[in-house]
């Protein structure tokens, strides 16, 4: 799921109510020093509780260009 970070509590509560166990969270920030404007959440239906993995933030821009991870997502290897 991709959503706004300010809705994270609602997302996690609703996932649990629907028997979806949150498994990972990753924040997306437009650039270094900016607050996250997206959160990526994954879960498994009827998954057993093993905790949630908090993954490193994704930084979209480095200066005027996309960051390397974003370029890989968009264009693959060049």
User: Is the pLDDT reported for residue 78 higher than 70?
Assistant: no
Segment 6-22 mean pLDDT: 96
pLDDT score, position 38: 98
Domains and CATH numbers, the chain: 2-75 (3.40.50.150)
pLDDT digit string, tens, across residues 19-67: 999 999 999 999 999 999 999 999 999 998 889 999 999 999 999 999 9
Per the confidence metrics, is the pTM higher than 0.75? yes
Question: Do 28 and 39 touch, CB atoms closer than 8 A?
Answer: yes
């Amino acid at each position: 799921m991709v959503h706004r970070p300010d809705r994270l509590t609602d997302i996690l509560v609703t996932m649990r109510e629907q028997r979806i166990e949150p498994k990972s969270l990753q924040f997306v920030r437009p650039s270094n020093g900016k607050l996250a404007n997206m959160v990526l959440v994954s879960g498994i239906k009827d998954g057993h509780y093993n905790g949630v993995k908090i993954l490193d933030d994704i930084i979209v821009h480095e200066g005027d260009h996309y960051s390397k991870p974003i370029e890989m997502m968009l264009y693959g290897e060049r």
